[in-house]
Amino acid sequence: MLPLEGLRVITLEQAVAGPFCSRQLADLGADVIKIERPGEGDLARGYDGALDGVSAYFAWLNRGKRSVVLDLKSPEGVTALEALLAGADVFVHNLLPGAVERLGFGWDTVRERFPRLIWVSISGYGLSGSYAHKKAYDMLIQAEAGVVSLTGSADEPAKVGISVADIASGLYAHSSILAALLTRGRTGQGDRIEISMFEALTEWMMPPMYSLIGLGRAPGRAGLRHNMIVPYGAYRCADGQVMFAVQNEREWVKFCAGVLEQPDLASDERYATNQARLTHRQALEGTIETAFGSLTRGEVSDRLEQAGIASAQVNSVQDVVDHPQLQDRQRWTEVQTPAGSIPALLPPHNLESVSPRMGRVPALGEHTAEVLAELERAP
């Protein structure tokens, strides 16, 4: 029996943040009923047709859910949603600000009618404050939260290449739901969970903000180098780049002796601490790349391994698809979609006692008749 089996989750969700949260619940056994609008459904269905007509984002985020089409502009659709919430444990929504309130399912209304329901809002900036009604998407939140000020090269900022604000807020929503379920088990009462994408990313921004508060300066953009630790990043050698990280002074000494073969460098006062290395990073990183200039990636990697210095390859997407560690740990499996079978990675929950439910990616409205029939049979 999966941990969340018997739990019913109703979602009014679209795009990434809400669906990422509820897919975690579905993987762990919850019955996730995804309410979609007539005609187009979740807007992520139309992002692309990468998988024989099925959107890459939609396939990733919506396996194991039941798709129900309701016209929430009609009294019949609203009545059906109300009946679904009456039998639900969790209600997840990430529509535009104010949308669920206009439908009559804001927290103040819901908690009186369904006191055990856990009500979960995911929005750009939260439900209060001067930004509460501002529309928000992932890249916009990355910019507003200052992430792009730290990402990219010294010459040009860049966004993170995946939907990091959506993913962060979806994960906080998921963990908050699990906490609320534990609380409900003690009190019998549901709870209001309000997740802000902006707050999720600003929480992750605390180290650079503390640097600004404590030192009077924020870290700059450093490309494929760490902006607060040196040496840490990708460094040129004879046939490409090698990525590695020196995390403490013990490793710094080992790096100088075993990798650079310049043991005296470890005691150079310009580089004796990480703060000193940050101050003199240009000179130090030039010294490192000069030493690596006559060495291949393989030779540098061998020295790093022998010295106990953490390193990695700068992989392409294809390299990750083919990654031996994913093969060794048998992470690839398959799920079904309306277009057939597609590969999927097992979710990283990794509970020893159970295997995740890798359910089908639903067609739009695939389960409408089934779910509405269940409502008619409900006492």
Q: Which residues are catalytic?
A: 166
φ, ψ (nearest 5 deg) of residue 214: -85, -35
The CA distance from 4 to 27, in Å, is 9
The CA distance from 60 to 41, in Å, is 16
User: In the structure encoding, which two tokens stand for residue 105, read together?
Assistant: 């399912």
User: In the structure encoding, which two tokens stand for residue 144, read together?
Assistant: 């507003």
Report the candidate in 190, 185, 11 with the shortest Cα–Cα distance to residue 117: 190
Count CB-CB contacts under 10 A for residue 97.
Answer: 18
Residue 199 zone, left/alpha/beta (φ > 0; ψ -120 to 50; rest) = alpha
The CA distance from 297 to 236, in Å, is 9
Cβ neighbourhood burial of 43 (10 Å; 0-12, 13-18, 19+): middle
Q: HSE (CB half, 13 Å, CA atoms) of 364? A: 17
Write down the residue that tokens 């910019």 correspond to.
143
Measured torsion, CA atoms of residues 109, 112, 115, 117, in degrees rounded to the nearest 10 = -10
The CA distance from 47 to 51, in Å, is 11
Dihedral of alpha carbons 153, 155, 156, 157, sign: positive
The CA distance from 299 to 311, in Å, is 13
